[in-house]
A = this chain, B = another copy of it.
Amino acid sequence: MPVNPAPRAYQIVLQAIEEDLRKEKLSVGDQLPGERALAEQHGISRASVRDAIRILDVMGIIKTSTGSGPNSGAVIISNPSAGISQALRLHLAAKGINVREIVESRILLETWAAQMTPRDPIHAQQVIDRTAVLIMRMDDAQLSREAFHRIDAEFHVLLASMAGNAVVESMMESLRNSISDYVSESVPSDEAWQPVVRILRRQHKAIHHAFATNQRERAAQLLEEHINWFYSQTR
């Protein structure tokens, strides 16, 4: 384990907020104390408090609104995939992570989620209904490739959400977001895209049918084939 240097001023605020969240002194929906109050409380500059607030914002822990008045400021939210996704995207760009690793991880997470008994049958049924709508939208021949990829990502993330595990779901969503540019650029031309999209539509329908008829092993197997096939088409 590396020895950590002395914490920077903004890390003092991050640690204190983490502690307050753990002790439930702060909860989702609460207003974060103001800049001045946090600076005085921790004996650090307002600039360091602002650093901490930016970081919490990027990590999906708070939502900041601009403007002034009593309702301005930061509110605690918890959007795990936003923060994780941003970090994964940057590391993928820096080649700390390669595409084979992303493919393996997607297959791991998606096939696991497919095989789990849904924790909430009502949510599971909503996912089946919602993904049926997405499949119809992906059938639209006028749909741009960019829009197709966005709906495709939503389709996969929704199916994974059935398992009811926010960690797995965030990792999934983060992976999808982190590779969206790669996916968009992966098929070189619109001509090359046409035969690919026809097969993707067919695969999505077969996957959806397996989920809808509760053939979970089959769904996992189709997902694995679908993900491997798609990456095999991209250089």
| Assembled-state Cα–Cα distance A58/B27 (Å) | 23
B101 touching A56, Cβ below 8 Å? no
CB distance from A149 to the nearest CB of B (A): 12
Task: Determine if A37 is an interface residue (Cβ-Cβ < 8 Å).
Answer: no
A91 near B171: Cβ-Cβ < 8 Å:
no
- Given the known interface contacts A10-B54, A54-B10, the answer about A60 and B91 at a Cβ–Cβ threshold of 8 Å is yes
Nearest residue, chain B, Cβ from A102: B167
CB of A104, distance to nearest CB on chain B (Å): 5
Residue total for A at the interface (Cβ-Cβ under 8 A): 55
Is the beta-carbon distance between A108 and B168 smaller than 8 angstroms? yes
A18 touches B108 (CB 8 A): no
Interface: A89 (CB within 8 A): yes
A138 in contact (CB, < 8 A): no
A35 at the interface (CB under 8 A from B): no
